[in-house]
Structure 1
Amino acid sequence: MLIRWHKDNSYFIAHIHQDLFGGWVFTQSTGIIGSSNGKVKNIPVASHSDAVKKLDQLVKRNQKNGFIIKERSDEPTQLDWILEYS
């Protein structure tokens, strides 16, 4: 699952995925579009449902802060977006 937000020239990406050992990871990537100074945080979570709860909180916070969802995918994804914008 992946959601990508934009606000002006800023981006925010959230990605839920499994690591090589089957554990769940919540990844956040933020930065300025076109800049190489973005930040990526990988946060291990206990379960997929915990990751979805974390994502729901982030969706509410980003909407409150004026970010607009540009892409949403509930399908398993590769890390292409994170690598492209990081």
Structure 2
Amino acid sequence: MSIRYTHSQWCFLAWKREHRYYRAELRQDLFGNWIVMKMWGRIGSRLGGMKETLCRTYEEADSCFQTAVRRRERRGYTLQGRNP
């Protein structure tokens, strides 16, 4: 069995709002499964949260990722960084 990685479809975005941060990643795990990872917390604090969502297809993962992007924009977060 051959695992196929599609690095060109991986994506990373980071947002900030006042004292809060949020990051979202769309990537593959070691087995080639698509994962959407979300991380959030307060700037300057070690407290925060993380959630990984395992998706069956790239399309499902991209839909989940885009939902997170729209939610950050609606809540007033400013885009701080993205992958090249």
Q: Same fold (TM over 0.5)?
A: yes
Alpha-carbon distance between aligned partners in 2 of 1:33 and 1:47, rounded to the nearest angstrom: 33
1:39 maps to what in 2? 49
TM-score where L is the length of structure 1 = 0.80
**Are 1:56 and 2:63 counterparts?**
no
Identity, in percent, stands at 27
Deviations 1:5-55 (A, max 9, x none): 000010000001111111111100000112111101111011122111111
- Bigger relative contact order (CA 8 A; separation at least 6): 1
TM-score where L is the length of structure 2 = 0.82
The gaps in structure 1 that reach 5 residues or longer are 76-86
Alpha-carbon distance between aligned partners in 1 of 2:69 and 2:34, rounded to the nearest angstrom: 19
Q: Note the C-alpha offset of 1:66.
A: 0.4
Q: Aligned pairs, how many?
A: 74
CA RMSD of superposed structures (Å): 1.1
